[in-house]
A and B are shown apart, each in its own frame.
Chain A
Amino acid sequence: MGIRFILMVNKQGQTRLAQYYEYLTLEERRALEGEIIRKCLARNEQQCSFVEHRNYKIVYRRYASLFFLVGVDNEENELAILEFIHLLVETMDRHFGNVCELDIMFHLEKAHFMLEEMVMNGCIVETSKTNILAPIQLMDKAS
């Protein structure tokens, strides 16, 4: 499985979105998130975007006040994951218009919905922004 989890975290280290592609108990998740967030947030702009943690590799990128962290296997291509994060942000930008922490907080379901379109079983299945957003736009129109 390529991607194991995706986290969105604000500057204070609070999780704003968490999607796991393997089963972890609540306690395991909380511990894992705590360790990873502490590790990544302590790093500065002059440091690279890859962190090794336990048996994961964390690829992360900061956009304004939001950190996007993706946990992957050792096999996974780090640069591709960075591109994936960028694609995710661009997609959200297109939908929310310059996405910010509050957008994700108040539209968590939508954010999950977008992720579900992009990633299944930890594999990236869709990379076209139009395709990713099509179901959501349809839904918005309907409601």
Chain B
Amino acid sequence: MSGGSGGGGGGGGPSLMDSLFQRTLDDLIKGIRLHTPGAAQSSFISKSLDEIRREIKSTDLQTKSTAVQKLTYLHSLHGVDMSWAAFHAVELTSSPYFLHKKTGYLAASLSFRPSTDVLLLLTNQLRKDLSSANQHEVSLALECLSVICTPDFARDLTPDIFTLLTSSKNFIRKKSIACLLMVFSQYPDAVRVCFKRLVENLESTDNAQTLAATVGVFCELASKEPRSYLPLAPEFYRILVDSRNNWVLIKVLKIFAKLAKLEPRLAKKVVEPICDLMKRSEAKSLIFECVRTIVTSFHDYEFAVKLAVSKIKEFLLDTDLNLKYLGLQGLLLVAPNHLWAVLENKEVVIKSLSDVDRNIRLEALRLVMSMVSDDNVTEISRVLIGYALKSDPEFSNEILRSMLTTCSRNVYEIIIDFDWYVSLLGEMARIPHCQNGEEIEYQLIDIGMRVKDVRPELVRVGRDLLIDPALLGNPSIHRILSASAWISGEYIRFSKNPFEIIEALLQPRTNLLSPSIKALYIHSLFKVLSFCLHSFLFPTNSSLSRVIDEPDFTYSESEGEGETKTFSNLFTKESTVNMLTLVVTSLTPLTETHDVEVHERVRNVLGLAKLAQEEISREVNQNDFKTSIIVRLINDALSEDLGPVSLTAQERVVIPDGLFLEENLGNLDTICANVNIPVSESFSLVKHVLTDVDYVSSQQNEESSEMSGVESTSTSLLSKHRKKHGLFYLPSDIPENDSRNFPPANDPNNQKDNDVEDLVRLTEESLVLKRKSNVPRPRPVVVKLDEGEKFTVTRAKTESNDDLISGAVRDVLLGNESSSYKGKSHDSHLKDGKSEIGDSSRRKSKKKHKNVEENGERSKKKSGGRHKGRQRADGGVNVAVQNPVIPDFLL
């Protein structure tokens, strides 16, 4: 086949010498092998490529063929671009020699793409070869077409393939059938022409070769849109019962798995034969397919599922790892409907968690996760943490990741004991190689905001993490530490010993943190510090305010008393002064830092600390302290809890009358260029005390008003908008039990009396949270936002090729023409000019089958002349298709 220079020098090529001494493909391969991979090899390849470029222009077909052959080799194995040689490949396909033709077609099918410019040149050659008397030429053309088919090819060549579908040679028929799949997907109208013959091939069970191809095509078609193929169920049923070919049976099972979901009566009929097959067959592949079909589509049939599970068990216990893997996969499919099957095989599953093969471990992990429910999440987590500790880092992280996702699903649906879960999160952070810092960080803060009852435990967990200097050495958990720092600052009132936390936040190894996290540490320090000063300066007040703040913390009431006592012991003058000294000495070096954020925060803390230090050491009467006033103000500001904000919050803002919102925000940049974004001024301790939220909202306020100011010229509208801005997050007229309601997180009780007050407060603060009002389980309240939390994306349904195909199939099978025009006219609108050829050919095909046309029940629908022609052509192919027989068959 790589015939070298045998073809005789045609003369007119680049040179006679090139043709005579042309390297053959074998020479090229040997050459490549001689050169070591790397520079030497690639220079050899580029040298050969130069030769090929010369040779390929030769008029001698043999020389050209060898050149294309070599190029194809380089293209497919060494990734050399050969799009430039597309024309030469096309040229070769028209050679009278079969071998050249073959080389040309192979090059085309390996390298052509829909955008290849010479593609259309191939149309005529393909048509010629499709109608060739030599079956091998036909086969070459079909194979090539099945790879490079475009809508144009499909449209132009459908008539030729239609003819081949009845070829007397099986060799050709099976290939033309297999080719149809590609043709249909490129040109759905071909279905109307060819579908009937495809169905005929399904009926001729005597021919094993074509049957395999036909079932393959139907399996692919049905996997996209099964409903259209329901009328063919009797045919598939016959194959299921009669066929002895495992390949075919597997495909038929796949078809039934799809069909049975649509037609319950079908399931009843088919489930028996499938079980027979499962019992009878020796082939594992077939058995597994039966199992898969049963557990996915026939899970209502208890006896079938039992049989399938017993087969799965055999797989699981087999020494063949492949079977074990598939057994686990099978279990995973059973799990949603029959959890008992998983529990029955629990041991194998758990043992597989330590299998040598990572893939098997992953499957086992998925299974374990499928078993998790609110009853067993504690035990399973304990087991999994154990495995995470002894597995390799990659798998260990995989375990943690799936635990985190499973536990946080649906706003921590399965978690009842949050104290336990929070400490689990802390434990995860300590697992070596933990890479899930980001997720754990998110969940810690998220739980803190959503679940009020868990905050004391959260603070404890955070403290344990903060205080451990070893953890600071692991950069991958810095994010968790940052969450812990934030929690400690935000919920410091639950801490047993705030001084301890101050020390932890100031420990020397914190210089290993990145500046942004460092800044968060210092800001948390600020919160803790102001809390401590507050507790020191207002010993009674602090406990009082806490009781007022948190009346629903009844369980901690008595404890709270105790705490207050300890606190009053704790916050002595000496300890406070020591604390202040520690803060000042540790932070002073940081004033030199280059990071703006850290610098700023350090200044804030130092400002407060130095002021307090001075006044406390001067021993003035406490009531005259400037610090007292400041600390009280700061503390009031900080005691406000942060909460999650609904994603739909923005949507709640009512657009004022006459305000014109532009659809296209393309010119936003130019608008924003004129807006002076307020630069955060340095924190002034006395006058300008804001919580983060207030600050943000005031910024939003400014921005939005500025925006609307630009948008609308009317100043009265602007003031109206400002007035409405109070309702930014929440309309005030929603009743309490409405699910869209957002009581605040720190709302003591959902008492009706407080409603009005609450709502007033709500409108003042832009802080909104929703809380599930009556939880049946003894589970702490988890604050959830409304549906806005999930984005329900409504997908715009476009009419894809699949829809067109199934539409056409349905029309052909059911003889239903009235609906068929939607797809057709749509298509003809698109390529009105081009479809002429297709039309005429279809008319031709119609003539050929006029004999069967008479029993066609064509719709009498009037339509334009042009459409009429089409309609009749369709009628021609529609007829003689059996009526939809499902009902008879099923009952």
Contact residues of A between 95 and 143, Cβ < 8 Å to B: 105-106, 108-110, 112-113, 116, 120-128, 131, 135, 138-139, 142-143
Q: Is B383 an interface residue (CB 8 A)?
A: no
Q: Is B155 an interface residue (CB 8 A)?
A: no
Residues of B within 8 A of A48 (CB): 321-322, 324-325, 357, 359-360
- The A-B contact count (CB < 8 A) is 139
Q: In the bound complex, what is the Cα–Cα distance between A2 and B223 (angstroms)?
A: 10
Residues of A within 8 A of B103 (CB): 109
Q: A139-B98, A142-B98 are in contact. Are A46 and B324 (CB under 8 A)?
A: no
Q: In the bound complex, what is the Cα–Cα distance between A143 and B2 (angstroms)?
A: 10
Q: Among the listed A21, A75, A79, which residue makes an inter-chain contact with B326, where contact means beta carbons less than 8 Å apart?
A: A79
Would A120 and B359 count as touching, CB distance under 8 A? no
Contact residues of B between 236 and 266, Cβ < 8 Å to A: 245-247, 250, 254
Q: In the bound complex, what is the Cα–Cα distance between A116 and B102 (angstroms)?
A: 12
Would A123 and B322 count as touching, CB distance under 8 A? no
Would B284 and A79 count as touching, CB distance under 8 A? yes
Would B69 and A127 count as touching, CB distance under 8 A? no
Q: Among the listed B102, B113, B209, B357, which residue makes an inter-chain contact with A126, where contact means beta carbons less than 8 Å apart?
A: B209
Q: In the bound complex, what is the Cα–Cα distance between A116 and B175 (angstroms)?
A: 10
Stretch of B176-184, B439-447, B853-861 that contacts chain A: B176-184
Would B179 and A51 count as touching, CB distance under 8 A? no
Q: Among the listed A79, A106, A120, which residue makes an inter-chain contact with B175, where contact means beta carbons less than 8 Å apart?
A: A120
Would A125 and B174 count as touching, CB distance under 8 A? yes
Would B99 and A124 count as touching, CB distance under 8 A? no
Would B216 and A21 count as touching, CB distance under 8 A? no
Q: Is B285 an interface residue (CB 8 A)?
A: yes
Q: Is B802 an interface residue (CB 8 A)?
A: no
Would A127 and B212 count as touching, CB distance under 8 A? yes
Would B106 and A109 count as touching, CB distance under 8 A? yes
Q: Select the residue from A50, A78, A121 with max chain B CB neighbours within 10 A.
A: A121
Stretch of B76-84, B342-350, B470-478, B773-781 that contacts chain A: B76-84
Would B175 and A80 count as touching, CB distance under 8 A? no
Stretch of B56-64, B139-147, B607-615, B690-698 that contacts chain A: B139-147
Would A21 and B147 count as touching, CB distance under 8 A? yes
Q: Among the listed B139, B181, B254, B359, which residue makes an inter-chain contact with A121, where contact means beta carbons less than 8 Å apart?
A: B181
Would B179 and A120 count as touching, CB distance under 8 A? yes
Q: In the bound complex, what is the Cα–Cα distance between A19 and B322 (angstroms)?
A: 25
Q: Among the listed B136, B146, B181, B213, which residue makes an inter-chain contact with A135, where contact means beta carbons less than 8 Å apart?
A: B136
Q: Is B38 an interface residue (CB 8 A)?
A: no
Q: What's the least CB distance linking B196 to chain A, in Å? A: 20
Chain A residue at smallest Cβ distance from B292: A77
Q: A120-B178, A125-B178 are in contact. Are A106 and B29 (CB under 8 A)?
A: yes
Q: In the bound complex, what is the Cα–Cα distance between A47 and B178 (angstroms)?
A: 35
The 8 A CB mask of B314-358 against A (1 = contact, 0 = none) is: 000000011011100000000000000000000000000000111
Q: A26-B81, A121-B182, A123-B217 are in contact. Are A112 and B175 (CB under 8 A)?
A: no
The 8 A CB mask of B195-221 against A (1 = contact, 0 = none) is: 000000000000001001100110110
Q: What's the least CB distance linking A67 to chain B, in Å? A: 15
Chain A residue at smallest Cβ distance from B288: A79
Q: Is A62 an interface residue (CB 8 A)?
A: no
Q: In the bound complex, what is the Cα–Cα distance between A13 and B26 (angstroms)?
A: 22
Q: Among the listed A1, A106, A127, which residue makes an inter-chain contact with B247, where contact means beta carbons less than 8 Å apart?
A: A127
Q: Is A89 an interface residue (CB 8 A)?
A: no
Would A124 and B359 count as touching, CB distance under 8 A? no
Contact residues of A between 40 and 99, Cβ < 8 Å to B: 43, 46-52, 75, 77-80, 82-83
Residues of B within 8 A of A75 (CB): 223, 254
Q: In the bound complex, what is the Cα–Cα distance between A77 and B326 (angstroms)?
A: 10
Q: What's the least CB distance linking A48 to chain B, in Å? A: 4
Would A23 and B102 count as touching, CB distance under 8 A? no
Would B356 and A78 count as touching, CB distance under 8 A? no
Chain A residue at smallest Cβ distance from B112: A23
Would B114 and A23 count as touching, CB distance under 8 A? yes
Would B106 and A123 count as touching, CB distance under 8 A? no
Would A26 and B213 count as touching, CB distance under 8 A? no
Question: How big is chain B's contact interface, by range?
Answer: 35 or more
Would B1 and A143 count as touching, CB distance under 8 A? yes
Contact residues of B between 71 and 109, Cβ < 8 Å to A: 73, 76-77, 79, 81, 98-99, 102-103, 106
Contact residues of B between 92 and 136, Cβ < 8 Å to A: 98-99, 102-103, 106, 110, 113-114, 136
Q: Tell me how many residues of A have a C-beta within 8 Å of chain B.
A: 52
Q: In the bound complex, what is the Cα–Cα distance between A108 and B292 (angstroms)?
A: 37
Chain B residue at smallest Cβ distance from A12: B37
Would A123 and B250 count as touching, CB distance under 8 A? no
Q: In the bound complex, what is the Cα–Cα distance between A50 and B363 (angstroms)?
A: 11
Chain B residue at smallest Cβ distance from A107: B1
Chain B residue at smallest Cβ distance from A1: B220
Q: In the bound complex, what is the Cα–Cα distance between A52 and B360 (angstroms)?
A: 11
Chain B residue at smallest Cβ distance from A134: B171
Residues of B within 8 A of A83 (CB): 285
Q: In the bound complex, what is the Cα–Cα distance between A77 and B214 (angstroms)?
A: 18
Q: Among the listed B69, B143, B289, which residue makes an inter-chain contact with A116, where contact means beta carbons less than 8 Å apart?
A: B143
Residues of B within 8 A of A21 (CB): 147
Would B356 and A123 count as touching, CB distance under 8 A? no
Q: In the bound complex, what is the Cα–Cα distance between A129 and B735 (angstroms)?
A: 76
Q: In the bound complex, what is the Cα–Cα distance between A139 and B134 (angstroms)?
A: 13
Q: A109-B1, A124-B212, A125-B213 are in contact. Are A79 and B322 (CB under 8 A)?
A: yes
Q: Among the listed A46, A79, A106, which residue makes an inter-chain contact with B321, where contact means beta carbons less than 8 Å apart?
A: A46
Would B174 and A16 count as touching, CB distance under 8 A? no
Q: In the bound complex, what is the Cα–Cα distance between A48 and B322 (angstroms)?
A: 5
Chain B residue at smallest Cβ distance from A43: B357
Q: Select the residue from A15, A29, A116, A125 with max chain B CB neighbours within 10 A.
A: A125
Would A46 and B359 count as touching, CB distance under 8 A? no
Contact residues of A between 9 and 42, Cβ < 8 Å to B: 14-19, 21, 23, 25-26, 29-30
Q: In the bound complex, what is the Cα–Cα distance between A23 and B148 (angstroms)?
A: 9
Would A131 and B209 count as touching, CB distance under 8 A? yes
Chain B residue at smallest Cβ distance from A140: B1
Q: In the bound complex, what is the Cα–Cα distance between A131 and B208 (angstroms)?
A: 12
Q: What's the least CB distance linking A109 to chain B, in Å? A: 6
Q: In the bound complex, what is the Cα–Cα distance between A142 and B325 (angstroms)?
A: 47
Would B322 and A50 count as touching, CB distance under 8 A? yes
Would A135 and B212 count as touching, CB distance under 8 A? no
Residues of A within 8 A of B143 (CB): 116, 120
Residues of B within 8 A of A78 (CB): 285, 288, 322, 326
Residues of B within 8 A of A106 (CB): 25-26, 29
Q: What's the least CB distance linking B368 to chain A, in Å? A: 18
Chain B residue at smallest Cβ distance from A138: B136
Q: In the bound complex, what is the Cα–Cα distance between A70 and B26 (angstroms)?
A: 27
The 8 A CB mask of B1-31 against A (1 = contact, 0 = none) is: 1010000000000000000000001100100
Q: A29-B79, A108-B76 are in contact. Are A47 and B98 (CB under 8 A)?
A: no
Would B321 and A109 count as touching, CB distance under 8 A? no
Chain B residue at smallest Cβ distance from A73: B223
Q: What's the least CB distance linking A120 to chain B, in Å? A: 4
Q: In the bound complex, what is the Cα–Cα distance between A125 and B217 (angstroms)?
A: 10
Q: In the bound complex, what is the Cα–Cα distance between A106 and B69 (angstroms)?
A: 12
Q: A106-B26, A124-B212 are in contact. Are A26 and B285 (CB under 8 A)?
A: no
Chain A residue at smallest Cβ distance from B324: A48
Q: In the bound complex, what is the Cα–Cα distance between A106 and B32 (angstroms)?
A: 12
Residues of B within 8 A of A105 (CB): 29
Q: What's the least CB distance linking A8 to chain B, in Å? A: 10
Would B136 and A121 count as touching, CB distance under 8 A? no
Q: In the bound complex, what is the Cα–Cα distance between A125 and B593 (angstroms)?
A: 71
Q: Among the listed B209, B220, B284, B357, which residue makes an inter-chain contact with A47, where contact means beta carbons less than 8 Å apart?
A: B357
- 4 further interface pairs, Cβ-Cβ under 8 Å (given A77-B289, A120-B175): A17-B77, A77-B250, A123-B216, A124-B247
6 closest cross-chain pairs (CB), A and B: A79-B285, A123-B216, A120-B178, A47-B357, A48-B321, A80-B285
Tell me the A residues contacting B by CB distance below 8 Å: 1-2, 14-19, 21, 23, 25-26, 29-30, 43, 46-52, 75, 77-80, 82-83, 105-106, 108-110, 112-113, 116, 120-128, 131, 135, 138-139, 142-143
- Sample (8) of A-B pairs whose CB atoms are under 8 Å apart: A77-B250, A79-B326, A121-B181, A123-B217, A124-B212, A125-B212, A125-B213, A139-B99
